[in-house]
Amino acid sequence: MNEQHTNVAPLAQHENTKLAIWLFLGGEVVFFVSLILVFVFSRLTISNYEAQFRSLLSIPIIAANTFVLVTSSYFVVRGLEAINIKDDRKGLQTNLIIVMVLGLLFLGGQAFEWITLFNEGMTLKSSFGTPFFTVTGIHGTHVFIGILWLIYLLVSHKRRPFTRDNNRRVENFGLYWHFVDIVWIVLFTVIYLV
């Protein structure tokens, strides 16, 4: 009877944390959809949006920043592959450090954009500034949390290295990081390109 019960279990015990991460990401979808919608509606009410605000946004710089975040996602899977396939602990560490540097570079790019916009006269309370800084700020906070998570993983890896059979925490971090990447892919289109 017990054996039968084990056989029908849909997920292994170690998949539980992954399930929790996906549940969390499902909730994050709802959260970001609401933020994006508020941004879209706010933008639609601005009569001279193109002349007032669109001209202030530097698409080439943000496109480069988008490329940085997409590249960081690639290095996350490279790191996971290094530990999963080759049990390459040094490879995992190197790739995670690259991800951290790229994450910091992304935040630096965003800080540069914000400073430029403030210098151009945009304020937090303006009709475009409020939704813009809210959405990009909350996304940036997610990137920052990801970097803190990454630092924690690197310290853990130094103390007790992840192995081929014990790397679930890295995979869970990867899911979060890729999700943050997806959110930016959507924000890049909605805020800067359309």
Partner 1 sequence: METKKRPNYLFVFIALAVFTLIETLVSYIQQEAIKFPTLAIISVTKAILVLLYFMHLKLDSKIFSYLFIAGCVLSIPLILVIMVVMPQII
Residues found near partner 1 in the complex (CB under 8 A): 10-11, 15, 18-19, 22-23, 25-30, 33-34, 37-38, 41-42, 45, 59-60, 63, 66-67, 70-71, 73-74, 76-78, 81, 84-85, 171, 174-175, 178-179, 181-182, 185-186, 188-189, 192-194
Smallest distance from partner 1 to CB 148, Å: 21
C-beta of 70 vs 154, nearer to partner 1: 70
Nearest approach in angstroms of CB 158 to partner 1 is: 25
CA dihedral 89, 91, 94, 99 (to 10 degrees): -100
Structure tokens at 152: 């924690």
* Secondary structure class of 28 (helix, strand, coil): helix
* Helix 89-119 with 59-85: angle, nearest 10 deg: 170
Nearest distance, CB of residue 60 and partner 1, angstroms? 7
Residue in 150, 115, 133, 179 with CA at minimum distance from that of residue 35: 133
Q: What is the CA radius of gyration of the chain?
A: 20
Q: How far is the CB of 33 from partner 1 (least distance, A)?
A: 4
Of 12, 34, 6, the closest CA to residue 186 belongs to: 34
Integer Cα distance of 130 and 133 in angstroms: 6
Which CB atom, from 139 or from 158, has the smaller least distance to partner 1?
139
Q: How far is the CB of 183 from partner 1 (least distance, A)?
A: 9
- Which is nearer to partner 1, 59 or 151 (by Cβ)? 59
